[in-house]
Structure 1
Amino acid sequence: MSAIVFDMMNNAGLIIEGADIGEISTLALISLFTDARADESDTVPDGSTDLRGWPGDSFYSEPWGSKLWLLYREKMTTDLRNKAVKYAEDALAWMLRDNGEGVVAKSVQVTGSIPKFQTLALNVVITKPDDEVISFTVSRRWETQSAV
């Protein structure tokens, strides 16, 4: 199963492959593509002071979302791929913590690749407590928008 999601306002698209878009994969996608608040030490891509973040974070002890948005204007490199994997792992780490009702996942693995020119792919494999494995790949065309 594949899905293409296109955001016309921002001229951006994602291709999601291999996911039965169910509860766990939906939560993972929300975690990956909700903007986490940047730290003061992070470089904001547009040079502004807007650290973004989800307003609902004020109701939770841990922030929601990922910092993938910080990478959107960077040049596609191995280093960028590695940062994206780290940000994705951080965004999905909540699935491994017991909030009093058990964990959502026994394991979460993220690998990254650059399968074709200017495209970043993140492969996510989530193993649920009952050993069911959910995997999907999210691909995004990456274009440096403010290159010098």
Structure 2
Amino acid sequence: MDIAIIWNDAQAHGDWTTQNGDLALDNPLRTAIMVSLFTDRVAPETLSTLDQAVGITAAPDAVGSNRKDRRGWWGDTFAQQPIGSRLWQMQRVVKAGQTAVLREAEAICHEALQWLIDDGIAASIAVAATWSDSTTPTMQFAITVTEPATNATQKFYYSWAWEGLT
């Protein structure tokens, strides 16, 4: 078991919770996926063609700095593979309803979750992104993880809304 992270849709962040005066526990795979998807990964210095095609733009210069704000976590400075995802870059996208945006989000999720395969925690990962039927611009993700050796699958569902998506 791992520390449970409870996702708050209204505030768009996850947090630990307590149960009987102690930290609540949950499926460690769920926790690993949430950290991988909803931690801001450092953006690449150069945008890919697909990034540009869906409207992701380079980070603007930070106030008082000549360096671009590529986010990320300081602990990744010397890591070979950064943690988190680039989903935060999708908040610059303004093309809701287009399938290219969904495919880019799926690619970003795969990038963030690849370490599970590399470390032998998962045999494969499938990501399916869809637009929500609600009036709020919301993307829904279905993550299917196939466990090694057993071929058993676990499915996790997340939704994500962001400002500026029209």
TM-score for both structures, normalised by structure 1: 0.76
Greater Cα radius of gyration, structure 1 or 2 = 2
One-letter amino acid of the counterpart of residue 8, structure 2: V
Whole-angstrom distance in 2 between the partners of 1:38 and 1:13? 20
For the aligned residue pairs, the C-alpha RMSD in angstroms reads 2.4
Say whether the 8 Å CA contact 2:40–2:71 is kept in structure 1.
yes
Specify which of 95, 113, 116 is matched with residue 92 of structure 1.
113
Say whether the 8 Å CA contact 2:85–2:109 is kept in structure 1.
yes
Residue 17 of structure 1 corresponds to none
Say whether the 8 Å CA contact 1:95–1:104 is kept in structure 2.
yes
Is the aligned partner of 1:114 residue 2:135? no
Say whether the 8 Å CA contact 1:25–1:134 is kept in structure 2.
no
Q: What is the CA-CA distance between 1:73 and the residue it aligns to? A: 3.0
| Higher RCO (CA < 8 A, seq sep 6+) | 1
SS at match of 1:52: coil
Cα offsets for 1:51-84 (capped at 9, x unmatched): 0111121242211111110001312232211111
C-alpha change, 1:78 and 1:143, in structure 2 (3 Å) is: farther
SS at match of 1:61: coil
Gaps of 5+ in 2: 1-5, 15-24, 48-56, 62-67
Count how many residue pairs are aligned between Structure 1 and Structure 2. 131
Residue 5 of structure 1 corresponds to 8
Is the aligned partner of 1:70 residue 2:73? no
TM-score for both structures, normalised by structure 2: 0.69
Whole-angstrom distance in 2 between the partners of 1:26 and 1:56? 19
Identity fraction in percent = 30
Say whether the 8 Å CA contact 2:130–2:139 is kept in structure 1.
yes
Gaps of 5+ in 1: 15-19
One-letter amino acid of the counterpart of residue 114, structure 1: W
Specify which of 79, 83, 94 is matched with residue 100 of structure 2.
79
**Superposition misfits of 4+ residues, deviation over 3 angstroms:** none
Say whether the 8 Å CA contact 2:40–2:85 is kept in structure 1.
yes
Residue 19 of structure 2 corresponds to none
Whole-angstrom distance in 1 between the partners of 2:143 and 2:10? 22
